[in-house]
Amino acid sequence: MSDFEPQAGGDSCPIFPRQGPRAVVLCDGPPPEPELLAYWLAGTDVFVCADAAGHPYDELPRLPDLVIGDFDSLSGRIIDGRDGPRYLQIADQYTTDSEKALLYLSERGIEEAVLLGATGWRLDHTLYNCHLLERFAARMRLCLVDPVADIVRLGPGTSVSWPLPEGTRFSLLPLNGTVRGVTMEGALYPLLGETLETGAFATVSNRVAVSPLLLTVAEGSLLVSVDRDAEPLDEDDAFGDR
């Protein structure tokens, strides 16, 4: 059973509903499946590629509005046809290309972005892209998209209620050290005011038991990864893998 509905489009994602002008940023990690990119591009206002991500651009489901970066990996290969994307070269050695894209968007009032191609292959880039969710927390809502799950950050003092299909697999991970006062209702393994430490408690592969899933964080920053597909719960799940 798949709850992944490309026709609905990423702007209706339960854990990252569209609240205003939204951007999709394609980073230059392993490229996402074309259907996944198309799903997130549905209803998106701005489409930005970081450096060589998505090159050649005419093979993407939509032509990028902007390609941004220092172009160290695109040098000599840019073909800027009259119908091609705009290019913005920023030679700043203190930011990565994904960061350049987010800074550009944030300065233009875009407060919502989805990052694809931001995980996998190199672990250092993957982790740094995760850390951008912490860095940009005050000015942008961000969602990281991996091949199977969507990942958002819940900051201190937040509560969410997500309508998710029963059986949806999800994981909680401290993003920036200790997270306190984590309460979770509607899960197979609920939590009540728990403290989560980095690596101290297995909170991977929990499941939604009753919709909506309610999550509250008192202190700290929590990454929440939620699968796009759900498998129905069965009797074995009470003894399943966490």
Comparison of 58 and 77: residue with beta carbon closer to a second copy = 77
Which ranges in the chain belong to alpha helices (H)? 34-41, 97-107, 123-135
Dihedral-angle region of residue 147 (phi above 0 means left; psi in -120 to 50 means alpha; beta otherwise): alpha
Shortest Å distance, C-beta 76 to a second copy: 14
Could you tell me which residues come within 8 angstroms of residue 227 by beta carbon, excluding any fewer than 6 positions away?
A: 148, 149, 168, 169, 170
Q: How far apart are the first and last CA of the chain?
A: 21
Q: Is position 240 an interface residue for a second copy (rule: CB under 8 A)? A: yes
Q: Is position 108 an interface residue for a second copy (rule: CB under 8 A)? A: no
Give, in order, the Cα–Cα distances in Å from 80 to each of 28, 55, 86, 89. 19, 11, 8, 13
The answer to whether the peptide bond before residue 14 is cis (omega within 30 degrees of 0) is no
Q: Is position 235 an interface residue for a second copy (rule: CB under 8 A)? A: no
By the 8 A CB rule, do 4 and 39 touch?
yes
The structure tokens 């074309």 sit at 34
Comparison of 44 and 225: residue with beta carbon closer to a second copy = 225
Of 119, 164, 222, 230, the residue at the interface with a second copy (CB under 8 A) is 119
The residues in 62-101 that bind a second copy, with binding defined as CB under 8 A, are 70, 72, 91, 93-97, 99
For residue 207, count CB atoms less than 10 angstroms from its CB and return exposed for 0-12, middle for 13-18, buried for 19 or more. Answer: buried
Shortest Å distance, C-beta 58 to a second copy: 26
Q: Is position 52 an interface residue for a second copy (rule: CB under 8 A)? A: no
Shortest Å distance, C-beta 82 to a second copy: 29
Of 20, 163, 198, 210, the residue at the interface with a second copy (CB under 8 A) is 198
The residues in 206-225 that bind a second copy, with binding defined as CB under 8 A, are 221, 223, 225
Q: Is position 192 an interface residue for a second copy (rule: CB under 8 A)? A: no
Shortest Å distance, C-beta 150 to a second copy: 10
CA distance 95 to 45: 24
CA distance 204 to 7: 29
Of 31, 43, 106, 128, the residue at the interface with a second copy (CB under 8 A) is 128
Q: Is position 148 an interface residue for a second copy (rule: CB under 8 A)? A: yes
Binding site residues, a second copy, CB under 8 A:
70, 72, 91, 93-97, 99, 119-128, 130-136, 144, 146-149, 151, 171, 173-178, 198-200, 202, 204-205, 221, 223, 225, 239-242
